[in-house]
Amino acid sequence: MRIAVIGGGPGGLYAAALLKRLDPAREVTVHERNAPDDTFGFGVVLSDETLGGIESADPVVYAALRDEFVRWDDIEVVHRGRKLTSGGHGFSALSRRRLLAVLHERCRDLGVDLRFRSEAPAAAELAASHDLVIAADGVHSATREAFADAFGPDLTTHRCRYIWLAADFALDAFRFEIAETEHGVMQLHGYPFSADASTVIVEMREEVWQAAGLDRMDEAASAAYCAKLFPDTLGGRPLRGNNSQWIAFRTVVNARWSHENVVLLGDAAHTAHFSIGSGTKLAVEDALALAACVEENATLPEALAAYEAERRPVVTSTQRAARASLEWFEDLATYTGQPPYRFAFNLLTRSRRVTHDNLRLRDPDFVAAVEREAGVPEGTPPMFTPFRLGPLELRNRVVVSAMDMYSADDGVPGDFHLVHLGSRALGGAGLVMTEMVCVSPDGRITPGCTGLWNDAQAASWRRIADFVHTRSPGTALGVQLGHSGRKGSTRLMWEGIDDPLPDGNWPVVAPSPLPYRDGVNQVPRALEVSELAGLRDQFVDAARRAAGAGFDLLELHCAHGYLLSSFLSPLTNRRTDAYGGDVRGRLRFPLEVFDAVREVWPEDRALTVRISATDWAEGGTSAEDTLAVARAFADHGADAIDVSTGQVVSEERPDFGRSYQTPYADRIRNGLGVPVIAVGAISSWDDVNSLLLAGRADLCALARPHLYDPHWSLHAAADQDYTGPGAPWPQQYRAGSRKPPTGRTDAPKQRLTL
| DSSP states of 174-239 | EEEEEEEETTEEEEEEEEEEETTEEEEEEEEEHHHHHHTTGGG--HHHHHHHHHTT-HHHHTT---
**For the chain, how many residues are written?**
754
How far apart CA 129 and CA 143 sit, in angstroms, is: 16
Active site (annotated) includes residue 191: no
How far apart CA 444 and CA 490 sit, in angstroms, is: 9
**Three-class DSSP category at 668:** helix
**Three-class DSSP category at 708:** helix
Q: Which residues contact 491 (CB under 8 A, 6 or more apart)?
A: 446, 497, 499, 500, 501, 502
Selected catalytic residue, list 562, 579, 660, 664: 562
How far apart CA 307 and CA 269 sit, in angstroms, is: 12
- The H-or-E segment that residue 263 falls in is strand 262-264
How far apart CA 291 and CA 254 sit, in angstroms, is: 20
In 228-299, which ranges are continuous DSSP H helix?
A: 231-234, 279-296
Say if residues 474 and 507 touch (Cβ distance below 8 Å): no
Helical packing angle, 662-672 and 300-330, nearest 10°: 10
In 414-454, which ranges are continuous DSSP H helix?
A: 415-426
How far apart CA 385 and CA 231 sit, in angstroms, is: 39
| DSSP states of 45-65 | EE-HHHHHHHHHH-HHHHHHH
Nearest CA to 84 out of 435, 346, 398 is that of: 346
Return the half-sphere exposure (C-beta side, CA atoms, 13 A cut-off) of residue 410: 6
How far apart CA 112 and CA 109 sit, in angstroms, is: 8
Q: Which residues contact 104 (CB under 8 A, 6 or more apart)?
A: 13, 36, 114
Strand order in the sheet with 132-135: 113-116, 27-32, 2-6, 132-135, 262-264, 258-259
Q: Which sequence positions are flagged as catalytic? A: 562
